[in-house]
Amino acid sequence: MLLEKANLLVIDDEEIVRNSCTKILTEEGHVVRGAENGDQGLNVFKEFHPDLVLIDLKMPGKSGMEVLEELESADPDVVKIVITGYATVSSALDAMKRGAYDFIPKPFSPDELVLVVTRGLEKRRLLMEKKALLIGQEKIRRNMVSLVSHELRAPIAATVQYLEVILEGVAGEVSSEAEELIHRCDERLREMLELINKWINLAVFDPIKLAEHFEDVNLSEMALKSMELLKSSADKKKVRLSLEAQKNVPVIAGSKICLEEVFNNLIGNAIKYNRKKGRVAVKIYEQGNDVCFEVNDNGIGIEKENLPRIFDEFYRVDGRRTSPIQGSGLGLAIVKTMVDAHGGAISVDSRFGDGTSFKIRLPKVIHLEKGS
């Protein structure tokens, strides 16, 4: 079923074309607005929110091609149809490569206009139905995650409480051998709860909502906070922590909570998979339009064949799966998800037996001077 009443915008410098299109399309039951140049058309677009836009490619001032590119950037789901003269059909084809759905050559008849607009509105309807379907599927997925997580967490949490009651001697005296076994069970169950919580956080993570709450973040301050938090873990393994931060490094726009998770995970891993009396060096510096931070260690490293998959969910390299070092296989997947949500990039360089280096690039915030 077509959009019976759609919002249509006609951007054309010829008044007769605008008036003709408005008359023909209004008679078809649509709401039509017109604009005589590109800048005016873009302003009308922002307040009118049309379903379909007709754009003349040849206009004084801002060209139709420039308008098309800005519309595509603002809302790629809006159907864009270019109006062109016979001599510029090649330009129309070029416009279609840049996001236009179709084109109509001048002069055109009312039937030709209605036909191309009808096709465009059918395209719009299919796009909206697909988007609604995806939203519905995402809602179902999140509800399922919530349901499953509750069903998984509740019995495990209850079991942990029962074990604590037993350890306190409420159910009678516990032998030293039994106490040791109960402590091990308690530890494994807590690890399982942590794994479930990490999986849930990853499954329901929404980068769009996250970006709505971005604020200025000083990575040097965040690194110091993370290193202070993890100092006791480093001291247990006699791992030396160091920070080398460039002076006056620009802030980045981000979520403090998410970036703390990134720092804690990378520095925590560098300590966990290090050798005794090893080192972990954190570096923060400006590079082009980015702020970079590195976490370097001289620990056990990662074999070359395992590097391509270390950011996959639940993946643990073979050398660690059977080791006494516990891990969920979700930490680095979460790190990459968080970095991607900030418009950044993460890379890793490692040699088995020689250590690992993670590098993250995040776009810096550029504050314009007044009057610039």
3-state secondary structure of 270: helix
Nearest alpha-carbon partner for 348 in 265, 235, 228: 265
Based on the fold, state whether residues 279 and 338 are members of the same structural domain.
yes
- Pair 192, 103 in one domain: no
pLDDT at residue number 86: 60
Indicate whether 2 belongs to any domain.
no
**337 plus 233 within the same structural domain:** yes
| Same domain assignment for residues 243 and 155 | no
- Total domains present in the chain: 3
Segments of 257-354 assigned E as strands: 279-287, 290-297, 345-351
Of residues 364, 263, 273, 264, the one with CA closest to residue 325: 273
pLDDT at 360: 94
- Whether residue 301 is found in the same domain as residue 200: no
> Quick one: 339 and 225 in the same domain?
yes
pLDDT at 205: 66
The answer to whether residues 17 and 10 touch, using CB atoms and an 8 Å cutoff, is yes
Asked if residue 341 belongs to a domain, the reply is yes
In tens digits, the chain (372 residues) has pLDDT values of 456 689 999 999 999 999 999 999 999 999 999 999 999 999 999 999 999 999 998 888 888 889 999 998 888 899 999 988 765 667 777 887 888 999 888 889 999 999 999 999 999 999 988 888 887 877 777 777 777 777 777 888 888 888 888 888 887 888 888 888 888 888 888 877 777 776 676 666 676 777 778 889 899 999 999 999 999 999 998 999 999 999 888 888 888 888 888 999 899 989 988 888 899 999 999 998 899 999 999 988 888 888 888 887 655 554 444 444 455 557 788 889 889 988 899 999 988 888 899 999 999 875 444 333
Separation CA 153–CA 341 (nearest Å): 27
For residue 138, give its domain range: 133-207
Which candidate, 226, 265, 220, places its Cα nearest to that of 362? 220
Asked if 271 and 233 count as a contact pair (C-beta separation under 8 A), the reply is yes
Q: Is there a single domain that holds both residue 262 and residue 328?
A: yes
Please tell me whether residues 26 and 170 are part of one structural domain. no
Q: Is 370 among the domain residues?
A: no
- Maximum separation of any 2 CA atoms in the chain, in Å: 96
SS3 for 21?
helix
- Residue 23 within a domain: yes
Distance separating alpha carbons of residues 259 and 337, to the nearest angstrom: 11
Closest CA to 182 of 204, 160, 213: 160
In eight-state DSSP terms, residue 219 is H
Do 293 and 320 fall within a single domain?
yes
Whether residue 234 sits in one domain with residue 99:
no
Domain match, 186 and 227 both: no
